[in-house]
Amino acid sequence: MNATLFVCTTCRAGQPVVDGQPVAGARLYTALLESPRPPGLTIAPVECLSACSNGCVVALSAPACWSYVYGRLSQDDANDILAGAAAYAATSDGLVPWRERPLIFRKQSLARLPPQER
């Protein structure tokens, strides 16, 4: 399945912006790009996922699948995010069994959305 991991690259995660330094969302995006990418997964930067009070934020979506949004993340979570994204990309409907989700996905869900009508 072709899944997309959207990463909010403008998220400050409540931290002050320092001139010349990437914000927390950009650091998370870089960390994700620097890790091995699971098969079938595209990583896409997005400017604002409108979950600013719960940043950093990522979202997973794929055609005909449930979408998920996760928050309160940082660059230190990159490997767990990719493990969760790999499990998601391996499903046909986006529904990963609860115990197979990384802890951050179990505890830090902001929302999920049903599959879109075709």
Span interacting with a copy of itself, options 25-33, 47-55, 77-85, 87-95, rule CB under 8 A: 47-55
Tokens read off for 113: 């959305």
Give strand pairing partners of 8. 46
Could you tell me if 87 and 70 are in contact, meaning their C-beta atoms sit under 8 angstroms apart?
A: no
Query: 41-46 and 109-113 as β-strands: parallel, antiparallel, unpaired?
Result: unpaired
Q: Select the residue interacting with a copy of itself from 11, 57, 78, 104 (CB under 8 A).
A: 57
112 binds a copy of itself (CB under 8 A): yes
Distances (CA, A) of 52 to 43, 55, 57, 58, 91: 20, 5, 8, 11, 29
116 binds a copy of itself (CB under 8 A): yes
Closer residue to a copy of itself (CB): 19 or 117: 117
2 binds a copy of itself (CB under 8 A): yes
Q: Select the residue interacting with a copy of itself from 50, 97, 98, 99 (CB under 8 A).
A: 50
78 binds a copy of itself (CB under 8 A): no
